[in-house]
Amino acid sequence: MQHIIETTEDGSHTLYVPELNERYHSTHGAIRESQHVYLEAGLHYCGKPEINLLEIGFGTGLNAFLTLLYAEKSKKTVTYTAIEQYPVSLADAGKLNYSELLDPSRKDAFMQLHASPWEEWTEITPAFRLKKRQTDVAKLDEFQPEAPFDVIYYDAFAPEKQPGVWTEKIFNRLYALSNREAVLTTYCAKGAVRRMLQSAGYRVERLAGPPGKREILRAVKI
């Protein structure tokens, strides 16, 4: 897919995909959105010192990079699995300004997230281990992780753009792959998504969204 770099309101980059008429992040602030939806509502909610995390939609690597920085700062360790069917090229990743805005000394770590091989574990830092899987999210029934997940970032493109990755079957599978009290967060607060999560067995709550978005969802396995 073709990607066009755009600058969002907080100064951080996002990628625009003309083929889908879709952006990877909110135009109101890419970093601000990721921090709010995935770090604050999801990762911070998990009190474990060792966290097994799944991201649906690796994309620009922003969520992974924020998680890596948080793991180091909080003295936690994160084992991070990311599923992405259409990886961003290394050339495009190198143009993104996340490390410049968050920690200029960590550009190499950000680039290693993208340069690390697919389908195998890579220790990016002592606090952060990564495995990227290039596959269709709809094939989650074939996915057998090494351990249940504690946190899930659900960051696929919007349901109207990719309806096949917002299904009850997928949420049922994620529920089965998670530990009790595991938390799933997503920017998408549509009623249909909330009902599918509830049907899967999650306790779902609406939370205030980041700038430009009224609500987000947090789902907890009960």
- Segment 65-92 mean pLDDT: 97
Residue-wise pLDDT for 175-200, tens only, equals: 999 999 999 999 999 999 999 999 99
In whole angstroms, give the CA distance from residue 39 to residue 36.
6
What does the pLDDT read at residue 84? 96
Record the tokens describing residue 80, joined without a space: 């991070």
Strands (E), the chain: 4-7, 13-17, 22-23, 50-56, 77-83, 122-125, 128-133, 149-154, 178-186, 202-208, 215-221
Does 1 score more than 90 pLDDT? no
142 vs 186 pLDDT, higher one: 186
Per-residue pLDDT band for 56 (boundaries 50, 70, 90) equals very high
- Segment 71-94 mean pLDDT: 97
In whole angstroms, give the CA distance from residue 144 to residue 138.
14
Please give the share of the chain, as a percent, with pLDDT higher than 70: 100
Does 15 score more than 90 pLDDT? yes
**Phi (first) and psi of residue 80, to 5 degrees:** -120, 115
Record the tokens describing residue 33, joined without a space: 């959105």
H and E: helices and strands count for the chain: 7, 11
- Segment 61-65 mean pLDDT: 98
Residue-wise pLDDT for 103-131, tens only, equals: 999 999 999 999 999 999 999 999 999 99
In whole angstroms, give the CA distance from residue 200 to residue 172.
5
What does the pLDDT read at residue 141? 85
- Write down the architecture of domain 29-221 according to CATH: 3-Layer(aba) Sandwich (3.40)
Per-residue pLDDT band for 29 (boundaries 50, 70, 90) equals very high
Does 139 score more than 90 pLDDT? no
Per-residue pLDDT band for 42 (boundaries 50, 70, 90) equals very high
Residue 58 contacts by C-beta under 8 Å, 6 or more apart in sequence? 64, 82, 83, 84, 87, 132
Residue 155 contacts by C-beta under 8 Å, 6 or more apart in sequence? 37, 38, 55, 56, 57, 59, 63, 186, 187
Task: Find the largest Cα–Cα distance for the chain.
Answer: 44
In whole angstroms, give the CA distance from residue 39 to residue 62.
11
- Segment 170-177 mean pLDDT: 97
pTM of the predicted model as reported, rounded to 2 decimal places: 0.97
Record the tokens describing residue 144, joined without a space: 């057998």
